[in-house]
Amino acid sequence: MNVLGIDGGSQRLGYAVLKGDRQKPEIAEAGVIRPKGKTLCEKLCYIVADVSELLIEYQIETLSIETAFAGPHPRAVIVLAHIRGAIIGLVPALRLNQLPTLQVVEPTPGQVKSLVTGKQNASKQLMQQAIQWQFKLAKPPEPPDVADAIGIALWGMTVGVI
């Protein structure tokens, strides 16, 4: 099973590709996409191009993308919703052409943190440490968006797909 986890952001979007099975997932690739452009449309085009490439290159079966959550900054929530919409909007076209079995799961931040650390309100640092330990990494994933994306992909691999 190949899962792509996305931790959305307009300045830094964390992503992680996990391969393997639920008992022994492996990180195939993880990092951040730093959208280029001044306008939201330019940033969305950049994100969509990079995410499309990942979906096709790794023949992703499950896209696990964190749900948007209401925060203290309404504009940031709206921008995040646009990013999520653009990414999820790729799925119908890809199902018709390259990835007929592609499915989408949408965990909440609390679900991911609970799976990875056992605590729904875990800190970024605890997430990084838990991912480092679970995947036997030499150091915690940096920036924290990468650890979050790995956790989101792990949720899609272990819980989101039944």
Active site positions, annotated:
7, 66, 145
Q: How many CA atoms lie within 13 A of 32 on its CB side?
A: 17
Helix (H) or strand (E) holding 52: helix 40-57
Strands 62-65 and 103-105: parallel
**Cα separations (Å) of 32 from 35, 64, 143, 159?**
9, 16, 8, 24
Among candidate residues 25, 24, 3, the one with its CA nearest the CA of residue 16:
3
Nearest Cα to Cα of residue 40 among 6, 68, 10: 10
The widest CA-to-CA distance across the chain, in whole angstroms, is 42
